[in-house]
Amino acid sequence: MARKLIENHNECPITHSMNIIGNKWTSIIVYVLAGRTLRFGELAIRIDKISRKVLSNQLKEMELRGIVHRESYAETPPRVEYSLTKKGEELLPILNQLCAWSKDIDLDMNP
> Where do contacts with DNA occur on this chain (CB under 7 A)?
3-4, 23-25, 39-41, 49-54, 56-57, 59-60, 70, 72, 76-80
Instruction: List the single partner that 111 binds among DNA, its own copies, none, CB under 5 to 8 Å by kind.
Output: its own copies
Instruction: Pick the binder of its own copies from 64, 70, 71, 73 (CB under 8 A).
Output: 64
DSSP letter for each residue of the chain: -PPPPPP-TT--HHHHHHHHH-STTHHHHHHHTTTS-EEHHHHHHHSTT--HHHHHHHHHHHHHHTSEEEEEE--SS-EEEEEE-HHHHHHHHHHHHHHHHHTT---SS--
Instruction: List the single partner that 53 binds among its own copies, DNA, none, CB under 5 to 8 Å by kind.
Output: DNA
Nearer to its own copies, 9 or 77 (CB): 9
- Regarding 105 and contact with its own copies (CB under 8 A), the answer is yes
- Regarding 97 and contact with its own copies (CB under 8 A), the answer is yes
